């Protein structure tokens, strides 16, 4: 008997459905009523059961038909309209398509797994979602209160009630991770899938004293940084410790990520006479190449490391990213009573550097985005806190430059 789910059959009956090794892929490219080209892709996976493959094909065909029909009549694919979707639809779409594209998506993936987790109903024996009431909501109905509210139906309340240790309040850091996971789902839905929903975490987030500041990035003050650095330098004088100290210092001055520095290769360190040393990161978190200029202090630190790198070794450092995190965490813990920000993470050194570049260095936001790798300028806006006086001074300086230019031209 011939396989009715072959590629040729699927293509013949549904031109927008393609068979791939593990799934059927629906690809839609149609012009709407205004002539704008609309593109959309969805995947339907199957397992080892032959019936599963047939079901996946049937769903893919039905989906393609529905999407094209809605596109022709409403101007948008049905699945890009928020009111037609549930929170579950967005979470599963992100799990299937957004997470695999992340460089370090393991942590967020574990959060998504918990969000979609189920338990067996003792009465029916059927799986039931722990957060079914939230996942079943319309995608355009989710709010910060739904996630962080004090009532028993909020995500935080349900999470607390289903934890093994129900008496202990969830750590703020844990809550932040789950909130960020929902935030990632909606950011992906809005920016990548172009689904017309409002981001549920716009504005103030609050849960039992967890204010906006708890969700934002911490800046490591100079005094705190010097204390932690001195503590690291007072440890054993090993090659590994020397590299950790160098990485920490570079992170404090350059707006890069821990993994980018630790995995830096010699060929991506450029130094031309009379110019700043530049670090090239060809494969970054956002998938694009990035170039970061080093300041004189960080350049000197990196040069000391490069002197001891064998010619036959490509990597500048021999340590792993976790080595830096653990060393920073131990030093911070041992000094916690002496630090203003005892919970500052190693990643906060990146935010500290960005704050300096945006504030004291006054690098324009468009230029700073090229250094930091932010595609969304709104993500950088929080680093800019210029006073009205300073903005006025900049306008005055621009006007004077324009006058001088016009005078020279005449």
Residue 200's alpha-carbon distances to 138, 144, 156, 188, 346, in angstroms, are 12, 5, 15, 13, 28
| Cα 173 to chain centroid, rounded | 16
Quote the CA–CA distance of 130 and 178 in Å, as a whole number: 14
Residues β-bridged to residue 31: 37
Chain centroid to CA 406: 45
What is the spatial distance between Cα 91 and Cα 13, in angstroms, rounded to a whole number?
A: 30
pLDDT, position 191? 79
Identify the pLDDT of residue 165. 62
> In whole angstroms, what is the distance from residue 118 CA to residue 375 CA?
36
Contact 156, 207 (CB under 8 A): yes
Residue carrying structure tokens 């079901």: 55
Rounded CA-CA distance 113/95 in Å is 9
The strand pairing partners of 207, in sequence order, are 210
**The pLDDT value given to residue 328:** 94
pTM score of the predicted model: 0.57
The reported pLDDT for the residue numbered 213 is 42
Nearest to 25 by CA among 51, 54, 64: 64
Helix (H) or strand (E) holding 27: strand 23-31
Long-range Cβ contact pairs of 10-18 (< 8 A, separation 24 or more): 10/57, 10/60, 10/61, 13/61, 14/60, 14/61, 14/64, 14/65, 16/64, 16/68, 17/57, 17/60, 17/61, 17/64
DSSP 359-372: TTS---HHHHHHHH
Q: pLDDT tens per residue, the chain (410 residues)?
A: 333 333 434 444 456 788 888 888 888 776 655 566 666 677 888 888 888 888 988 888 888 887 776 666 656 666 666 677 899 989 998 998 888 877 667 788 899 999 999 988 888 888 889 999 999 999 989 988 888 888 889 898 888 888 766 667 777 778 888 888 998 899 888 877 778 788 888 755 454 455 444 445 578 989 999 999 999 999 888 999 999 999 999 999 998 889 899 999 999 999 887 788 999 998 777 777 899 999 899 999 999 999 999 999 999 999 998 899 999 999 999 998 999 888 888 988 998 898 888 887 888 888 888 888 887 777 777 676 554 555 567 677 778 878 887 777 76
Instruction: Tell me how far apart the alpha carbons of residues 158 and 150 are, in angstroms, rounded to a whole number.
Output: 10
Structural contact between residues 229 and 249, judged by C-beta atoms closer than 8 angstroms: yes
pLDDT of residue 39: 66
Length in residues, the chain? 410
DSSP 153: T
Q: How much is the pLDDT for 1?
A: 36
């Amino acid at each position: 008997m011939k396989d009715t789910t072959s590629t040729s059959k699927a293509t013949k009956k549904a031109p927008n459905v393609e068979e791939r090794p593990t799934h059927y892929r629906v690809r839609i490219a149609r012009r709407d009523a205004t002539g704008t080209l609309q593109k959309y892709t969805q995947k339907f996976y199957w397992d080892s059961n032959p019936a599963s493959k047939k079901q996946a094909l049937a769903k893919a065909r039905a989906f393609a038909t529905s999407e094209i029909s809605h596109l022709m009549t409403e101007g948008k694919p049905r699945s890009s309209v928020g009111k037609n979707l549930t929170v579950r639809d967005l979470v599963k779409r992100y799990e299937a398509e957004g997470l695999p594209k992340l460089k370090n998506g393991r942590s967020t993936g574990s959060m998504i797994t918990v969000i979609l987790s189920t338990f067996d109903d003792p009465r029916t024996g059927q799986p039931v979602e722990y957060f079914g009431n939230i996942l079943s909501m319309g995608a355009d109905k989710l709010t910060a209160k739904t996630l962080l509210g004090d009532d028993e139906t909020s995500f935080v309340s349900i999470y607390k009630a289903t934890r093994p240790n129900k008496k202990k309040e969830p750590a703020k850091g844990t809550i932040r991770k789950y909130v960020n996971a929902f935030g990632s789902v909606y950011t992906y839905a809005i920016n990548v899938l172009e689904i017309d929903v409002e981001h549920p975490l716009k504005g103030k987030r609050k849960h039992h004293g967890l204010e906006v500041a708890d969700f934002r990035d911490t800046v490591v003050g100079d005094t705190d940084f010097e204390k932690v650095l001195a503590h690291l330098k007072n440890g054993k004088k090993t090659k590994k410790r020397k590299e950790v100290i160098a990485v920490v210092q570079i992170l404090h001055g350059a707006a890069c990520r821990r993994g980018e520095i630790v995995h830096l290769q010699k060929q991506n360190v450029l130094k031309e006479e009379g110019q700043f040393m530049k670090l090239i990161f060809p494969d970054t978190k956002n998938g694009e190449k990035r170039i970061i200029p080093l300041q004189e202090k960080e350049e000197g630190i990196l040069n000391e490391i490069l002197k001891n790198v064998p010619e036959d070794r490509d990597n500048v450092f021999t340590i792993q990213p976790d080595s830096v995190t653990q060393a920073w965490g131990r030093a911070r813990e041992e000094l916690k009573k002496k630090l203003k920000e005892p919970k500052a993470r190693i990643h906060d050194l990146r935010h500290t550097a960005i704050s300096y570049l945006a504030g004291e260095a006054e690098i324009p936001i468009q230029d700073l985005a090229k250094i930091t790798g932010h595609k969304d300028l709104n993500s950088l806006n929080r680093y800019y806190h210029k006073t009205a006086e300073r903005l006025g001074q900049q306008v005055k300086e621009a006007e004077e430059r324009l006058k001088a230019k016009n005078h020279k031209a005449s």
